[in-house]
Amino acid sequence: MEHNRDFKRNIKAFGYHRSSLVDYPGEVAGVLFLKYCNLSCDYCHNAKNMNFLESKSEEQFKDILNDMINSPSTGLVITGGEPALYGKDIVLMLKHLRSCTKKKIKLDTNGTMPEVLKPIIKDKLVDMIAMDIKGHFDSYEKFGYHGDKSLLYESAFMIRTSNIPYQFRTTMWSGLDENDYGFILKNFPDIKWQKEIKEQI
């Protein structure tokens, strides 16, 4: 049965920061880094660690979840990688966190899987969503995406109309062209601009 599904066994984490001042606006947040991504962005500052660090064991993962719940932080951030790749398991994990703590929960996503975001938004399992806007949606091939571009538009619309605080953000890097900048400025005037990070976390 679905409620017996063991998300702790299925979700793979590669890192955890107990306290961050930059990952959740206005909150001191614990940050959980999940493995695997369906994009391959040249500028990704998590890629090296995500691809080469071993996954936490199931026991280590349980300990991290307990620390996230019981630490003095005021917020929690679930990032990656791409958390939505875990499908039903990420929904179950967010339900678990929501039931165990009053801390604010933020989810980072690339927006390629709106079908996973839908129940998260519907059930108000997070207090904030951040979606990375890589460039013009029609040119996402340069980020390793070969799926349906309409899914990106669907996610952006869903997030913007969710009544959940959100943040659209993009990284300024050498691979962006005038078409990318024009698309972002027109469609996401509230975007948060980030500089490319050279060093690894």
Residue 11 lies in a domain: yes
Residue 201 lies in a domain: no
Tell me, rounded to whole angstroms, the distance of Cα 177 from its chain centroid.
25
Record the pTM.
0.94
Question: What values do phi and psi take at 18, rounded to 5?
Answer: -70, -30
Q: Confidence band (pLDDT; 50, 70, 90) for 4?
A: low
Give strand pairing partners of 30. Answer: 76
Residue 200 lies in a domain: no
Q: How far is CA 144 from CA 7, 38, 40, 107, 141, in A?
A: 27, 7, 5, 22, 5
Helix axes of 114-122 and 150-160: crossing angle, nearest 10 degrees: 20
The CATH number of the domain holding residue 142 is: 3.20.20.70
Whether the predicted pLDDT of 20 surpasses 90: yes
Structural domain span for residue 78: 2-195
Number of domains present in the structure of the chain:
1
- Residue 200 has a pLDDT of 44
- Residue 201 has a pLDDT of 40
Q: Which tokens in the block code for residue 191?
A: 């975007």
